[in-house]
A and B are shown apart, each in its own frame.
Chain A
Amino acid sequence: MIYYPEYLQPKTLEELFKELPKNKKIYYLAGGTDLLNYLRDELVDKKNSCFVDLSKIKELVFINETNKNIEIGSMVSFNILQENNLVKKHFPAITSMCKTFSTPIISNRATIGGNIANASPSGDSLPVLYTLNTKIEIKNFSQTRIEDIDKIFVGPKKTNFKNGDLITKLIIPKQVLQKGFSIIGIFKKVGGRKSHIISKASIAISAISKSDYIKKINVAVGAVAPTVLKINTISEILNNKKLNKKLVKDSVEEIKKVISPIDDFRSTANYRKEVVSSLFLESISELFKFNFYD
């Protein structure tokens, strides 16, 4: 590491926006599991940057239940998320994702807000948050705005954030369940090995169902397009239906239609196209305890 960025370590959000320089490129340091690599590889603005360490801001670490939502602070780490009972109860897809997210040691540091701000199309939390219609609260000086998660990404590693924008919390709507129905969810990914790996392709499903009857389903895929994609046409096919092989087959066709995977150092477009379909079949089979493969 060859240069010395300006460094702030505020204790509250108020202090943060009081001290934040207006004429420097702001890098928020959350868990550091991505940013320290960018620092080491000299991918950050060298001349005019300011690092803002969020680790002392306690008001960003919380998981609360409100009337309609569960709210999650942006500095909540993946291991806290994985163990949280509110999350387990309301959003099984999040818990499922945390189990395959990197390794326990990285999960101790990596934060949900950091995973969003990094904006990688292969960020594991993103497809899951898409299926849950997550909203993101963003603060910048005295302004606060709330955006849908699928509106903030404009390309690989690119958000619509302005300099200084800070994700403060996630707002995830709770589902109202009729009698007999339950909320189910799953996340699956494929990488070079099982643990500690960046996805070549990933899928998240959240649904409200009663045995094989689907009331509502959301499917999102990661690492197979410039941003994570929520595939609304699958919801149209499967909502309010009894699941059968024909419907599942139609859903797979929809996935193939909307994705635009690329060849890169991690994998090839063809492989991604095939494997994401298999991930869908595997996930739906596991969720509904029926083999939809053949």
Chain B
Amino acid sequence: MSIKIQFKLNGEEKNFYVKPNMTLLELIREKAHLTGTKHGCGNGECGACTIIMNGEPVRSCLILAVEADGKEIITIEGISPQNLTELQKAFIDEGAIQCGFCTPGFIMAGEALFKKTQKPSDDEIKESLSGHLCRCTGYEPIFNAFKKVAKK
């Protein structure tokens, strides 16, 4: 049994036929071939699969692909297709990337945060980072990158 769904992916209307047990993460990576969104833990703990759905950051591993029908979805590829965003630049400047696996998730959480509030407090930054795991950087450079954008 396949179900037809239609949604906006990075600004473009897309159609897919999906099985009802496929996750949105699997759809994004394996059917839409957008591999910037990462499959980490697969149970909502690590944050690597974070995307923006209807303006809110969500875990794509905990959403069925069929639930995306009618929604507007932005992945890391759709954040700023031409240039780097301020946050992405700050990540580079602050050395907030080592292996890079967690980075798309952090960027998505950050973009959603800065859309809501341009000058988030330290606590708001920490709260937005709280659902994301990074095993390389120790979080300090990531926090600093967020701070750098918040100061601007």
Q: Is A9 an interface residue (CB 8 A)?
A: yes
Q: Is the CB of A196 within 8 A of B64?
A: no
Q: Is the CB of A39 within 8 A of B58?
A: no
Alpha-carbon distance between A51 and B21 when the two chains are bound, in angstroms: 10
Q: Is B80 an interface residue (CB 8 A)?
A: no
Q: Is A232 an interface residue (CB 8 A)?
A: no
Q: Is the CB of A105 within 8 A of B59?
A: yes
Alpha-carbon distance between A4 and B2 when the two chains are bound, in angstroms: 10
Q: Is the CB of B20 within 8 A of A33?
A: no
Q: How large is the interface on B (under 10, 10 to 19, 20 to 34, 35 or more residues)?
A: 20 to 34
Q: Is A3 an interface residue (CB 8 A)?
A: yes
Alpha-carbon distance between A103 and B43 when the two chains are bound, in angstroms: 14
Q: Which residue of A lies closest to B124 (CB)?
A: A104
Q: Is A291 an interface residue (CB 8 A)?
A: no
Interfacial chain A residues near B31, Cβ < 8 Å: none
Q: Is the CB of B58 within 8 A of A5?
A: no
Alpha-carbon distance between A53 and B5 when the two chains are bound, in angstroms: 14
What are the interface flags for B96-140 relative to A under an 8 Å C-beta threshold, 1 for contact and 0 otherwise? Answer: 000000000000010000000000000000011011000000000
Q: How far is the CB of B58 from chain A (nearest CB, A)?
A: 5
Q: Is the CB of A108 within 8 A of B58?
A: yes
Interfacial chain B residues near A9, Cβ < 8 Å: 66, 69
Alpha-carbon distance between A1 and B67 when the two chains are bound, in angstroms: 16
Of residues A53, A55, A103, which shows the largest number of chain B Cβ atoms within 10 Å of its Cβ?
Answer: A103
Q: Is B44 an interface residue (CB 8 A)?
A: yes
Alpha-carbon distance between A137 and B108 when the two chains are bound, in angstroms: 37
Q: Is the CB of A195 within 8 A of B21?
A: no
* In the complex, chain A residues 259-285 whose Cβ is within 8 Å of any chain B Cβ: none
Q: Which residue of B lies closest to A193 (CB)?
A: B130
Q: Is B62 an interface residue (CB 8 A)?
A: yes
Interfacial chain A residues near B63, Cβ < 8 Å: 32, 36, 109
Q: Is the CB of B21 within 8 A of A4?
A: yes
Q: Is the CB of B59 within 8 A of A104?
A: no
Summarize A's interface: helix, strand, loop or mixed.
loop
Q: Which residue of B lies closest to A32 (CB)?
A: B62
Q: Which residue of B lies closest to A51 (CB)?
A: B20
Q: How far is the CB of B27 from chain A (nearest CB, A)?
A: 12
Alpha-carbon distance between A68 and B62 when the two chains are bound, in angstroms: 37
Q: Is the CB of A4 within 8 A of B64?
A: no
Q: Is B23 an interface residue (CB 8 A)?
A: yes
Q: Is A40 an interface residue (CB 8 A)?
A: yes
Q: Is B89 an interface residue (CB 8 A)?
A: no
* In the complex, chain A residues 2-46 whose Cβ is within 8 Å of any chain B Cβ: 3-7, 9, 29, 31-33, 36-37, 39-40
Interfacial chain B residues near A4, Cβ < 8 Å: 1, 19-21
Q: How far is the CB of A123 from chain B (nearest CB, A)?
A: 16
Chain B interface (Cβ within 8 Å of chain A)? 1, 3, 19-23, 42-45, 47, 50, 56-59, 61-64, 66-67, 69-70, 109, 127-128, 130-131
Task: Supply 13 further A-B pairs (C-beta < 8 A) apart from A7-B1, A29-B64, A104-B130.
Answer: A3-B21, A4-B19, A5-B21, A7-B66, A33-B62, A36-B62, A53-B66, A53-B67, A56-B70, A79-B56, A103-B130, A109-B63, A196-B131
Chain A interface (Cβ within 8 Å of chain B)? 1, 3-7, 9, 29, 31-33, 36-37, 39-40, 51, 53, 55-56, 79, 102-106, 108-109, 194-196
A-B contact pairs, 24 of them (CB 8 A): A1-B22, A5-B20, A29-B67, A32-B62, A32-B64, A33-B59, A33-B62, A36-B43, A36-B62, A36-B64, A37-B43, A40-B42, A51-B20, A53-B67, A55-B67, A56-B70, A102-B131, A105-B47, A105-B58, A105-B59, A106-B62, A108-B56, A108-B58, A109-B62
